[in-house]
Chain A
Amino acid sequence: MTGWTRHQGLAVGLPFENVDTDQLIPARFMSAPRSEGYGRFLLHDLRHDANGAPIRDFPLNDPGAEGASVLVARRNFGGGSSREAAVYALADAGFRAVIAPSFGDIFAGNAVNNGLLPARVSEADADALLAATPGDLAVDLEACTITAGERVIGFEIDPVWRTKLINGWDDIDLTRAHAQEITDFIAARRAARPWVWPHGVGS
């Protein structure tokens, strides 16, 4: 994963609350290998009618939203299922940031693990940004600001996640530095609490 600090791009609005991960990617698409690209599954059943034809007035189908890389939405974006495929669908469709008043806990963590910023703003700021979509804006991870025209809005993100996005850290690489501590911890836990290990499994 590559780190980043600033991103400028076209923002598209999704003016709904509770856009859950089942909406972001319906379950039936998730057996596909990632290498096939997940962008075409993004919000599939909201973007298409029952016959599979694109719904013209859906925001993401607006020709003016072509090439959008920032999504602005309402509260509880990405709630529900832990499927990381929801983030793959956004990332593969070219999104780098989602701006909303609140996020599903697991979704936000998955987003950061894939370089996608979940930026938390107030309800009022989300409304103001939604009113300005589609339109260009700039996100600054160092300053935690979103600039849209003359307007500069602060956003919130867990500092741990911010550092991770900026550095493009991979957790497995980070954890490798703690290999000895892990080995020692396991030995101590096993000695003090042998009952933790499943009965009849292993030594």
Chain B
Amino acid sequence: MSTSLTLFDKIWRAHEIHAREDGASLLFVDRHFVHEGSHHAFRKLAERGQSLAQPELTFGVADHYVPTRGRGKAIADPAIARMVSTLEENAARHGFRLFGLDDPRQGIVHVVGPEQGLTLPGLLINCGDSHTSTHGAFGVFGFGIGATEVAHVLATQTIWQKKPARMRIRFEGTLAPGVAAKDMALNWIARLGTDGGRGAAIEYAGSAVRALSMEGRMTLCNLSIEGGARCGMVAPDTTTFAYLENRPYAPQGAAREQALAAWAELVSDGQAEFDREVVIDAGEIAPIVTWGTSPEDALPISESVPDPARAASESEATRIRASLEYMDLRPGMKLSEIAVDQVFIGSCTNARIEDLRAAAAVLAGRKAKVPGLVSPGSSLVKRQAEEEGLDRIFVEAGLEWVAAGCSMCVGMNGDIVAPGKRCASTTNRNFRGRQGPGARTHLMSPAMVAAAAVTGHLTDARPLLEGRL
């Protein structure tokens, strides 16, 4: 047997408490993030009369339901107010730290964890949210779990898992200017399909991944779930270590020295074997938009809406027809002819400072032709953007600058796209009704959303970025 290990193998091995004969392993959970939507799990815990196993490894964040306007005032919607207060009550009862609605560190859980230095290389992180894969950007085994599993982690600080297949996606070469991590993710998902990474642990590697900032790596890992993977990860390097320096909960002093030594080991060995390997030429990737109701329905902006008559199979044709009917698009029309009603810049996918800067680079000195909402990923990102003057660029362009939360990505807080309206969005899911009943969503990078705002239709952002990058 080969002694060469992948990055994933190393993290798995470091967390294995017990390996059962049938192939399931009991793994230790280093961080558990909970949010308002975790109420089912807390109820399960209460029904069993159980307490929280490790309050100091559990952190709560109010994000899914929180209003993005009128912060500091009472929440008007009683159902939403109840969700937020239930989380506060559970935090008080079980003694875990909460970044609540009025906390200056509040934000989307997958933005707050890294920002606070809670997300560290080599950890296993769980959260009752599928985009927990985001934390993989730090060389973390991070994966979303359902309510039964959340209750299990709360009660035991462990989780049962069967070892996933190991997959590596290498992006070799250099991204063209104006092409972003979002385009890399949509590129591989369009290529392999929404079940292309089914259940696998993906390691993203290659020179184009190494060249990404932590923000870009988080976007790439965030979307792993849209390709069906259990998790996505990037081996930590000097970019990672620099990001973590002086973060509040990250190791300091001697502990940091010890951590750095351990983190340096977190790479796939040269001879390590993967169950599947895909190589993508990063230089070939163009800005991408989605046209349908699944993230795999993605094409370069220069292309046209697919024709179901040319589909590979009847079920594929049926799917395309249904998508086009819902999206109200004609086969063969240029993607750049699709007019939008509004834009949204936000979500755990693309609402970190670098994303806001990319959108602002397009919007500076220009007016948006359509209305739009900009919701930063966290209250700290909001503050930093305001220090950099980005908020003024958005507001002067005619967009609304609001507080941090999941907002219009999932529509739980009332920020929704009206029925039949079309939204260019930096989010992760173009599912039917995701942004509100009857809403039509086109996914793309922050610069591309900003370009859609400026022109009123889907368009290549690159000409608008000329001289601005």
Chain A neighbourhood of B148, CB < 8 A = 84, 110, 113-114, 171
B71 within 8 A of partner (CB): no
Chain A neighbourhood of B117, CB < 8 A = 198-199
Chain A neighbourhood of B226, CB < 8 A = 79-80
Chain B neighbourhood of A175, CB < 8 A = 26, 152, 155-156, 158, 160
Chain A neighbourhood of B18, CB < 8 A = 178, 181
Q: Are B120 and A106 in contact (CB under 8 A)?
A: no
CA A176 to CA B302, docked complex, whole Å? 57
Interface band, chain B: 35 or more
A12 within 8 A of partner (CB): no
Segment of B103-111, B249-257, B368-376, B387-395 engaged in the interface with chain A: B249-257
Q: Min CB distance, B142 to chain A, in Å?
A: 12
Within 8 A of B (CB), among A158-203: 158-160, 163, 171-172, 174-175, 178, 181-182, 185-186, 189, 193-202
B412 within 8 A of partner (CB): yes
Chain A neighbourhood of B438, CB < 8 A = 50
Chain B neighbourhood of A200, CB < 8 A = 248-249
User: 1/0 contact trace for B48-60 toward A, CB 8 Å?
Assistant: 1010000011000
CA A22 to CA B155, docked complex, whole Å? 28
Q: Are A76 and B194 in contact (CB under 8 A)?
A: yes
Q: Are A178 and B144 in contact (CB under 8 A)?
A: no
CA A109 to CA B24, docked complex, whole Å? 13
Q: Are B419 and A160 in contact (CB under 8 A)?
A: no
CA A74 to CA B315, docked complex, whole Å? 9
Q: Min CB distance, B416 to chain A, in Å?
A: 9
Q: Min CB distance, B327 to chain A, in Å?
A: 14
Within 8 A of B (CB), among A64-92: 74-76, 79-85, 87
Q: Are A82 and B130 in contact (CB under 8 A)?
A: yes
Q: If A27-B411, A76-B228, A200-B249 touch, does A182 touch B157 (CB 8 Å cutoff)?
A: yes
Chain A neighbourhood of B130, CB < 8 A = 80-82, 106
Q: Min CB distance, A30 to chain B, in Å?
A: 7
Which of A15, A18, A105, A114 interacts with B293 by CB under 8 Å? A18
Q: How many residues of A contact B (CB 8 A)?
A: 62
Q: Are B145 and A79 in contact (CB under 8 A)?
A: no
Q: Are A75 and B155 in contact (CB under 8 A)?
A: no
Q: Are A197 and B144 in contact (CB under 8 A)?
A: no
Segment of B214-222, B359-367, B426-434, B445-453 engaged in the interface with chain A: B426-434
Q: Are B23 and A82 in contact (CB under 8 A)?
A: no
CA A44 to CA B65, docked complex, whole Å? 20
Which of A22, A174, A195, A196 interacts with B433 by CB under 8 Å? A22
A104 within 8 A of partner (CB): yes
CA A106 to CA B116, docked complex, whole Å? 27
Chain A neighbourhood of B120, CB < 8 A = 195-196
Q: Are A159 and B22 in contact (CB under 8 A)?
A: yes
Q: Min CB distance, A132 to chain B, in Å?
A: 17
Q: Are B195 and A171 in contact (CB under 8 A)?
A: no
Q: Are B432 and A23 in contact (CB under 8 A)?
A: yes
CA A159 to CA B151, docked complex, whole Å? 23
Q: If A27-B410, A27-B411, A199-B250 touch, does A160 touch B433 (CB 8 Å cutoff)?
A: no
The residue in chain A whose Cβ has the minimal distance to the Cβ of B263 is A195
User: 1/0 contact trace for A4-46 toward B, CB 8 Å?
Assistant: 0000000000011110101100111011011000000000011
B43 within 8 A of partner (CB): yes
Shortest Cβ-Cβ A-B pairs, 5 listed: A110-B146, A84-B146, A195-B259, A113-B148, A195-B251
